[in-house]
A and B are shown apart, each in its own frame.
Chain A
Amino acid sequence: MKKIIYIIIVIVVLIGLIFIITKNKTPKDTSIIKIGVAVDLSGYAANWGEGEVKAVQLALDQYKDKISQPVELIIENTKGNDVGTVSAVKKLIEIDHVQAIIGPTWGDSYQGGMPIAEQKGIAMISPSAAIETLKNKEKFTYFFSTWWPQTSEINTLIDHMNLSDIKRLAIVNDQDPFDIEITDSLKKNIEANGKISVVSREMFPVGVKDFRTIIAKIKSNRPEAVFIQVTDTSTMGPFMKQLKEQNVNIKVYTTPDAENTDNITKFPNAFDGILYAFPSYGQDSSYNALVDRLKSKYGAGASQGPSFVNAYNAATMLFEVLKGGARTGTEIRDALNRVNVPGVGSKDLSFSPQGQLQDVTFIMKTITNNQFVEIK
């Protein structure tokens, strides 16, 4: 029996090695442009990654006839962890010889791929990396992000709070690393602003649905508004419902995830009055057209994921520079630093010197009678 096991293992390992070596020995086909897509397809952020893949495919559909060579997308799963991200990036660069990479998902949480791309001179555009959180970003000139600048969103919220004369704010968030980081940033900016006091800060594990104790604690501090940030958006409904049940009648601010039709369906009218900053692309006809194309290609029920538009814009910017003739890693990087192209939600998609998508404006929105409405 042991011998059989040994034989099976040796065969599996050999097959694996043969694949690798064969791929490695395949001469680079310079007639095809290979673009890597390193996304989370099975980990914690799988719904983000799924949306990112669809967005990149849709962007390619728009550009495939405009680029002088065929473009092949090679999709690798980062598995939502550092090791998976590094493996995916290495495989794309070393084995598949991609010319650029879109990804990784949550590039701020899984930074292991960045030094590799930098060393090999391959541009990476992450649709979901908050560049503000990256320490020593200046060392990574090949890394870009089309995620919304968090400071724009935060400042829009603070401006609205000031306009509404909010003086006392409670902050509530789950312990997802990104949520902690954003709410820390919000708290810091509010304190710097000086007009609002944060009277309460409550954190809880991801997925909690019973907020009664938290709400009671908040209530005791008499805030005029509460800001809530969660990763599991299905917990928003219980929160809103329990707020009403405990007669806590204060303004509720949250993130763009509030635009979630599932929540509205399950908790009708519970979300009425909630306030959130939303990228202005939502008012753009290009966004509606993109959603129509998504449904047409992937079915009416196709989900977008939180970074769908970001991924589409990332792909658009990359394909635009490919259309312009950039091919090597350095050419692509340099072209990305100069690119200026209409995208979803913006007429001028471009990167700042730090590689951050710039000039993204946010508008304030609310939900009224289960409809998402801009506050003018």
Chain B
Amino acid sequence: MNILETKKITKHFDGVYAVDGLSVSFEKGKITGLIGPNGSGKSTLINLLTGVIQINAGSVVISSKEEVIKILPHEVSDYGITRTFQEVRLFEQMLVIDNILVVLTKRNVFSSLFETHKKFHLERAEEVLKKVDLWKKRNDLAKNLSYGQRKLLEVGRMLAMSNGFGDDSDIFFLDEPFAGLFPEMRKIVIGVIRHLKEQGKTVILVEHNIDIIRELCDHIIVLDNGKLLAGGIPSDVLSKREVMDAYLGE
């Protein structure tokens, strides 16, 4: 069953089509790899589906129920969607633990001012930070973390959105989460992705490392010049000539 579908969505920047009439679907509970050469539209697609930028044409169907032509960024979590960013976007001058706690807060102004469930949130934050091995750094400022730790914190923040607390996220976009990570840290992120799948969540992973794609993904979508080039199970897709030519340059 498809949890998310795009119907001929288009995005252009000053006449340059970053995503061009793209129709793709993402299966519920699976890990889908989104691959393609640089500039193929992968990050643009994620930005469109998370409201960071707006669709010029086409629509998006969410959970087979709602068809939308406009996604506002603050509505994204209502659709059960969350993400990490390609360039790490943490709340730099806040503590590590606050970077997690802030996404656990009630979304309503009044409720957040008189927050209840503080103990629950702290427990959840501890759980998440331990999962990404940052619990010891919880009282450091995010800007003082190393590059790899910052990546892990972003993953942790995204993980906190599956908080088992009513407004759970179901769809997780990870945009190049492994870039620049040491092997030890990669294992942590792989562990998080597998954990999400075990929970029945849907993961969409943008990644250039083909080994990781082969290891983790149930399904692959290949983009090129903003269009769909191929889609299917990894063994099929990665053996296609056009994919090798476009992506691997062979």
A and B in direct contact, judged by CB atoms within 8 A: no
* Residues of chain A whose beta carbon lies under 8 Å from any beta carbon of chain B: none
